[in-house]
């Protein structure tokens, strides 16, 4: 596999300067939005074939979010792209200072399988908005969605502007051997390290959207019914295959039994008594991940669910109690419909347990106590999260989304997507009418004068 020609063609097109015109960018974003409007059923059908997503969930978590991002970018990108004048210190008088936004060039976007449409197209919106050319590499696991994305890109963009490469690890490795101007990767920390290592050979900047075990804290002041509803929704959305899903619950001991009661009731309400037969309940992506998640279920600690169906690749929403940090389910990101529950007595105890782990991509806190809210916000490091809800912080273009430490680097969504794929070029324009002499040698007694300005 040789992709030098592909990258070269895109770099040649980028050098024409066409992508630097905001009207050009808006035109192609409009074409993308129009294609989505006209082919919504094709997108939903592919998502259903890959992950068993219902039409409602597919639209809500994939199509709707992408459309909102496109509209937001089209509305604002002309303003974002304008040079911005900033203040100049008196020591540089007389002059003016500006920040010019320019695209990096040709970018590589490597997407995962769990939200295969959204997590491919959302970064693309940022790349196109900023004026870049792009090579997309969707996951080989979500085969139907990847094929549909390839058709979409072929119908919307010329290949020398945006193109798609399909395939598996060999294609990934071959692409990473090429010199891109920016790499945007979404996936596991293990693969993220490999991407960063390959990028370092060319000194290529990267964004890494990774994951981790995102905790959900519930204290004694929380509205337990609402907490249970929102935890169940966020955890079992896409059958738990969500990078920001609540990985585990840390609940204050005094309200643990009541919370578990409400969680079980909400599972039954949302997915019925036989979730494995519920057509709206998604499937696990493949046999490999089905076996991995099934292996994390300890039957002796299951208090609800636990059943599996290897023919449909479905795993019941499963709740486990009596969990410790030594259990297999606490040794890795679950990325499936298994919810371990642990308890704490004092919030400082819960915070210390979380702080002892790698910084998570998300954290959720259910409380009515503002002091406890402030304590968690100030004490713990994590990518982002919610107070009294789960997952929805990534569904707004006004909040940048990304990780910290082991959960990733860089951010996107809304203007943050534009900023990620943009180099800010700093320019100071000096007047030639006046030239203050004391900066030039010989300095003689200039130091005292310089100290007055600096």
Q: Which of 27, 50, 171 is nearest to 117 (CA)?
A: 50
The beta strands (E) that lie in 83-161 are given as 84-86, 95-103, 106-110, 133-137
Backbone angles phi, psi at 198, to 5 degrees: -65, -40
Instruction: Check if the beta carbon of residue 132 is closer than 8 Å to that of residue 138.
Output: no
Gap between the Cα atoms of 220 and 367, Å rounded: 7
Q: Residue 343, CB half-sphere, CA atoms under 13 Å: how many?
A: 13
Gap between the Cα atoms of 55 and 108, Å rounded: 30
Gap between the Cα atoms of 350 and 18, Å rounded: 53
Residue from 62, 178, 209, 316 carrying the catalytic annotation: 209
209 is annotated as an active-site residue: yes
Tokens, residue 150: 């390839």
Rounded to the nearest 10 degrees, what angle do helices 118-129 and 64-81 cross at? 10
Instruction: Check if the beta carbon of residue 305 is closer than 8 Å to that of residue 319.
Output: yes
Q: Which of 388, 392, 355, 395 is nearest to 373 (CA)?
A: 388
Catalytic residues: 209
């Amino acid at each position: 596999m040789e992709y030098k020609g592909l990258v070269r063609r895109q770099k040649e097109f980028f050098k024409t300067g066409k992508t630097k015109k905001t009207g050009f960018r808006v035109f192609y974003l409009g074409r993308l939005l129009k294609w989505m409007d006209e082919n919504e059923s094709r997108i939903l059908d592919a998502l259903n074939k890959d992950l068993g997503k219902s039409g409602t969930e597919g639209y809500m978590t994939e199509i709707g979010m992408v459309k909102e991002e496109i509209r937001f970018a089209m509305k604002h990108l002309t303003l974002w792209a304008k040079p911005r004048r900033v203040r100049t210190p008196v020591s540089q008088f007389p002059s003016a200072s500006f920040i010019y936004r320019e695209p990096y060039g040709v970018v590589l976007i490597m997407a995962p399988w769990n939200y295969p449409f959204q997590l491919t197209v959302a970064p693309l919106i940022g790349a196109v908005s900023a004026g870049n050319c792009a090579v997309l590499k969707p996951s080989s696991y979500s085969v139907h969605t990847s094929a549909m994305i390839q058709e979409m890109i072929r119908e919307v963009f010329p290949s020398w502007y945006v193109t798609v490469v399909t395939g598996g690890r060999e294609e990934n490795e071959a692409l990473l051997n090429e010199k891109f101007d920016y790499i945007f990767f979404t996936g596991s920390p293990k693969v993220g390290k490999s991407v960063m290592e390959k990028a370092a050979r060319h000194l290529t900047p990267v964004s890494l959207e990774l994951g981790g075990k995102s905790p959900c804290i519930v204290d004694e002041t929380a509205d337990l019914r609402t907490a249970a509803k929102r935890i169940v929704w966020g955890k079992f959305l896409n059958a738990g295959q969500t990078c920001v899903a609540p990985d585990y619950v840390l609940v204050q001991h005094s309200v643990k039994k009541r919370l578990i009661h409400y969680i079980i009731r909400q599972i039954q309400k949302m997915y019925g008594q036989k979730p494995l037969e519920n057509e709206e309940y998604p499937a696990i992506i493949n046999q490999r991940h089905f076996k991995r998640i099934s292996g994390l279920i300890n039957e002796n600690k299951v208090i609800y669910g636990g059943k599996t169906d290897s023919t449909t690749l479905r795993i019941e929403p499963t709740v486990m109690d009596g969990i410790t940090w030594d259990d297999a389910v606490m040794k890795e990101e679950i990325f499936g419909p298994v919810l371990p529950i642990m308890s704490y007595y004092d919030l400082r105890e819960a915070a210390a347990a979380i702080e002892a782990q790698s910084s998570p991509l998300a954290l959720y806190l259910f409380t009515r106590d503002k002091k406890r809210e402030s304590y968690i916000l100030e004490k713990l490091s994590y990518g982002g999260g919610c107070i009294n809800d789960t997952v929805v912080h990534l569904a707004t273009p006004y909040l940048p989304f990304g990780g910290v430490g082991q959960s990733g680097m860089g951010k996107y969504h809304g203007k943050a997507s534009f900023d990620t794929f943009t180099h800010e070029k700093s320019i100071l324009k000096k007047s030639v009418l006046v030239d203050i002499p004391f900066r030039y040698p010989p300095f003689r007694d200039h130091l005292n004068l310089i100290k007055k300005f600096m």
